[in-house]
Amino acid sequence: MGRLDGKVAVITGAASGIGAAAASLFAAEGAALVLGDLNHTGGEEIALQCRSADGRAVFQTTDVEDESQIKRLIDRATSEFGRLDVMYNNAGLGGAVGSIESTTIENWDRTMNVLLRAAMLGMKHAVPIMRAVGGGSIISTASVAGFYAGGPHAYSTAKAGVINLTRSVALEVGKHRIRVNCICPGLINTPLVYNHIPGGEPVAAQIFSQTQPIPRAGTPADVAAVALFLASDESQWITGEAIVIDGGLTVGSSQVGGGQGVSMTSPIAVFSGPSFLPRKG
């Protein structure tokens, strides 16, 4: 028996990295999935992989900067599978990278839209559906950068916002048996990161393995395992928590920023976009 048998989950940012790993794991554990991402090709491939392994999954191209698209993605869960039990707000990007004086308002706003506002909108539209079925689990991807200074300004600020939003909404909706938690990864070797490091994934893995006490790079599967726990009934008495998964980074290293390969003090304004698009300067 799967740990998510009978449950329906929506996952944003599902076309690669953490979202793709969560989709595969959730499907293997019995969940029916509605997957959203800007990357249409990658998202359809993940949905097909889930179905090929006898899972149930559909994909819908979704821009999480658009409230109507988030709502349509969540409504797809009820129209396709009849209910919603798990909302995983995972879509992300590096966002505005550079010194505070070089940061443009356009790059700042887009970072906040994707990393913070989209999580709020996922919660907003998931809550009434979950309340109607007697409860559910809302999960968001935050970051250890949300606890500390040192990451890119906009990224760290948005992730700190996700952490506090998680706690605030958990307080409101607990009476409906809706749990709200977030995951705070450290350095995870995802396309969002290694696509911007010369040498790519193997070089990033080597660098990250030397950064925290556990001597290997974090993987999307590591984060997906925590998401599975939070999605399952095993965590039914856990809410309002920010769960750190970082190999000991925050207790054994001062390198706790969420950098994407460009110093936050760089005089150059940079925007690190979705993993399947080239970085814009």
Residues annotated as catalytic (active site), given as ranges: 155
Q: One-letter amino acid identity for 281?
A: G
Compute how many other C-beta atoms are within 10 angstroms of the C-beta atom of residue 221: 13
Q: One-letter amino acid identity for 251?
A: V
Tokens of 117: 């506002």
Contact 56, 40 (CB under 8 A): no
CA distance 228 to 222: 10
Q: Whose CA is closest to 39, among 67, 20, 66?
A: 20
Q: Output the 3-class SS for the chain.
A: CCCCCCCEEEEECCCCHHHHHHHHHHHHCCCEEEEEECCHHHHHHHHHHHHHCCCEEEEEECCCCCHHHHHHHHHHHHHHHCCCCEEEECCCCCEEECCCCCCCHHHHHHHHHHHHHHHHHHHHHHHHHHHHCCCEEEEEECCHHHCCCCCCHHHHHHHHHHHHHHHHHHHHHHHHCEEEEEEEECCECCHHHHCCCCCHHHHHHHHHHCCCCCCCCECHHHHHHHHHHHHCHHHCCCCCCEEEECCCHHHHCCCCCCCCCCCCCCCCCEEECCCCCCCEC
